[in-house]
Chain A
Amino acid sequence: MSTVGASGMPGASGGVGASRASATLQPEPGTAIGRFLSDGWIATRRNLMKIIRVPDILVFTLLQPIMFVLLFTYVFGAAIDVPGGYTSFLMAGIFAQTVVFGSTYSGSAMAQDLKDGIIDRFRTLPMNGAAVLVGRTNGDLVINGLSMLVMMGTGWLVGWRVESSLGGFLAGVALLLLFAYAFSWLMAFLGMSVRSPEIINNVSFLVLFPLTFISNAFVPTENLPTPLRIFSEWNPVSALVQSARELFGNVPAGTPVGDAWTAQNPILTVLIGIAVLLIVFVPLSIAKFAALGKK
């Protein structure tokens, strides 16, 4: 630990005072957009490394959907009678629930990073603040992509089949992931708004249990009590589930579909939902991040 100067001048002995022994490293020339993309990638990479380094996250993320597929197929499947069989009905619901839950990770991870001080480290660097959020939500997207793969494999083993086209299948997957991605921005915003990571977990459960269970994800909703049925019809998760079912071709004749506009136009409903989430929470989150030092 003799000299701490920058490269090029190892061991150069110091002029104390006005002149320094070695120069400050200057950034490479670059455009604002190029730097933003680079920062976004570095932040994403950091979150991906965390998935690899903290296996609990990955194991939990992958095991939970497997458990849900098996549990619902064999426990509830025996009791719920829908045309085409319960497995076919269920899978889109499990997909939707899992990716929406997966997106909550952005909330708890933001809260945790704030608490740990890593966000403060980033904020002393000349990086783009929005890139931190891009990296965060990208990380969720990757985790969700992985859990989709695992769920589809498990679903296939218990008899789920895509009964549409390749295009329909890809569109269904894209819609699920995109909705979850948009939801991640909402969660990232909440993650910066709470005082501790524990709070965000509780908030997530309070919001997500009704959102995913009072929907058509696991049961047909036409027999629900009226208030719950109305909630379910206007619940964006219902529209997401319905869209995925249609795109995967899991809607055999006789499958009940609600009369509400949202049930008749599920894909459009989901796209509107995604747009609203992004239009509202991307700028809000970026502004919230920029204002972290103002409170």
Chain B
Amino acid sequence: MPFIEASDLVKTYTPKGAPVVRALDGLSLQVPQGTVTALLGPNGAGKTTTVKVLTTLISPDSGSAVIDGVDVLADPDRVRRMIGASGQYAAVDENLTGFENLEMVGRLYHLGAKRAKERARELIELFDLVEAQNRVVKGFSGGMRRRIDLAGALVINPPVLFLDEPTTGLDPRSRLALWDVIESLVSEGTTVLLTTQYLEEADRLADSISVIDEGRVIAEGTADELKASVGGQRVALTLVDADETETVRGILQRHGTGEAVPSNESKTWVVPVDDGPTALSRIVGEVTAAGISLHDAGMRRPTLDDVFLQLTGHAAEDAAENEKGAA
């Protein structure tokens, strides 16, 4: 039996003077105990809304959600005693110190003054915040802020953790450090549902990935399964001059087995092919014959980017840009 189970969640909003937005459009999800599931999708896809339903912050219009046998909609108080939430929306108090924030959360879980202090001290040490513990959070760096935020979610050492875009906006070093923490939690048996826009993050952390677009799960499986589902090899070309895009696209389409699509990197185009080496040499031959210069040409295995692209028809990060604020 799944530890977290959401079925047919629907949530609509009606912004003033605009058509109804279906933030969740029949979303279903299962997370087995002790595993990490990543919700992957662009901003506005419904990731945060899903997490907000599961953390009791919003009620869906219809559908059901159960965590460890407890009905989230009928018994939110019991759910709150077994979850930890961290992320964009569940903020910490900027005017309190790191220690005070954790102590406050402990008190609000009703651990009592003494245990709340002990636990705050423990978490401060675990998250390497000893030196900063008596400074107000307002002065924290982005990485420290995320750590104190995550620590806040761990105060009762909950069996279930919800992490909403835990590393968005972090520098690579802080991101790696946070990934280590999350992996260590999972190794101790915590069940984690996290949302991310970063394919790399889902690839690294998640046992299972649910790709979300327009309020629905459009694909799920392990990273490898998802990559295998889009199949085959790819040829990627990086142009020197963007003006030559059309010509190159034509050449790629002729030799590929599918649509040539732009990658996230600028001026890079990717096409699925049947026989990698042969296709690559033919494509490079033709491009060279056409007098077009390349920065880079090569074969690559499908990435989660390709998965996303193939499933949704648009790139993850492009969509994120377009829909900023729509979430």
Q: Are B85 and A15 in contact (CB under 8 A)?
A: no
Q: Is B110 an interface residue (CB 8 A)?
A: yes
Min Cβ gap A98→B in Å is: 24
Q: Are A3 and B184 in contact (CB under 8 A)?
A: yes
Q: Are B81 and A27 in contact (CB under 8 A)?
A: yes
Against A, the Cβ 8 Å flags (1 = close, 0 = not) of B135-151 are: 01000000000000000
Q: Is A124 an interface residue (CB 8 A)?
A: yes
Min Cβ gap B256→A in Å is: 41
Note all chain B residues with C-beta closer than 8 A to A4: 126, 154, 157, 181, 184-185, 188
Against A, the Cβ 8 Å flags (1 = close, 0 = not) of B100-124 are: 1000110111111001001100100
- Which residues of chain A from 40 to 77 have a CB within 8 Å of any chain B CB? 42, 45-46, 49-50, 53-54
Among all A-B residue pairs, the 8 with the closest Cβ atoms: A117-B91, A20-B189, A14-B188, A6-B157, A27-B110, A21-B188, A126-B80, A293-B58
Against B, the Cβ 8 Å flags (1 = close, 0 = not) of A75-105 are: 0000000000000000000000000000000
Q: Among the listed B95, B96, B157, which residue makes an inter-chain contact with A22, where contact means beta carbons less than 8 Å apart? A: B157
Q: How far is the CA of A39 from the CA of B58 in the complex (A)?
A: 22
Note all chain A residues with C-beta closer than 8 A to B33: 17-18
Min Cβ gap B307→A in Å is: 26
Q: Are A42 and B91 in contact (CB under 8 A)?
A: no
Q: Among the listed A16, A118, A123, which residue makes an inter-chain contact with B56, where contact means beta carbons less than 8 Å apart? A: A123
Q: Are A16 and B57 in contact (CB under 8 A)?
A: no
Note all chain A residues with C-beta closer than 8 A to B95: 49-50, 53-54
Q: Among the listed A1, A7, A39, which residue makes an inter-chain contact with B128, where contact means beta carbons less than 8 Å apart? A: A1
Q: How far is the CA of A128 from the CA of B110 in the complex (A)?
A: 11
Known pairs A5-B188, A27-B111, A118-B91. 7 more at Cβ < 8 A?
A: A3-B188, A4-B126, A7-B122, A27-B110, A121-B152, A125-B80, A126-B109
Q: Is A122 an interface residue (CB 8 A)?
A: yes
Number of A-B contacts (CB under 8 A): 144
Q: Is B212 an interface residue (CB 8 A)?
A: no
Note all chain A residues with C-beta closer than 8 A to B110: 27-28, 30, 35, 38, 126
Note all chain A residues with C-beta closer than 8 A to B34: 16-18, 20
Q: Are B96 and A49 in contact (CB under 8 A)?
A: yes
Note all chain A residues with C-beta closer than 8 A to B70: none
Q: Is A116 an interface residue (CB 8 A)?
A: yes
B110 nearest in chain A by CB position:
A27
Q: Are A124 and B155 in contact (CB under 8 A)?
A: no
Q: Is B83 an interface residue (CB 8 A)?
A: yes
Q: Among the listed B59, B81, B82, B187, which residue makes an inter-chain contact with A16, where contact means beta carbons less than 8 Å apart? A: B187
A16 nearest in chain B by CB position:
B34
Q: Are B89 and A25 in contact (CB under 8 A)?
A: no
Note all chain B residues with C-beta closer than 8 A to A54: 95
Can you identify 20 A-B contacts, CB atoms within 8 angstroms?
A1-B126, A1-B128, A4-B126, A18-B189, A23-B157, A24-B157, A25-B115, A28-B115, A42-B108, A53-B95, A53-B136, A116-B94, A120-B57, A120-B89, A120-B90, A120-B91, A121-B90, A124-B57, A293-B56, A293-B59
Q: Is B77 an interface residue (CB 8 A)?
A: yes
Min Cβ gap A126→B in Å is: 4
Q: How far is the CA of A8 from the CA of B119 in the complex (A)?
A: 11
Note all chain A residues with C-beta closer than 8 A to B108: 39, 42, 122, 125-127
Q: Is B158 an interface residue (CB 8 A)?
A: yes
Note all chain B residues with C-beta closer than 8 A to A117: 88-91
Note all chain B residues with C-beta closer than 8 A to A24: 82, 156-159
Min Cβ gap B297→A in Å is: 42
B53 nearest in chain A by CB position:
A293
Note all chain B residues with C-beta closer than 8 A to A21: 188-189
Q: Is A226 an interface residue (CB 8 A)?
A: no
Q: How far is the CA of A54 from the CA of B136 in the complex (A)?
A: 11
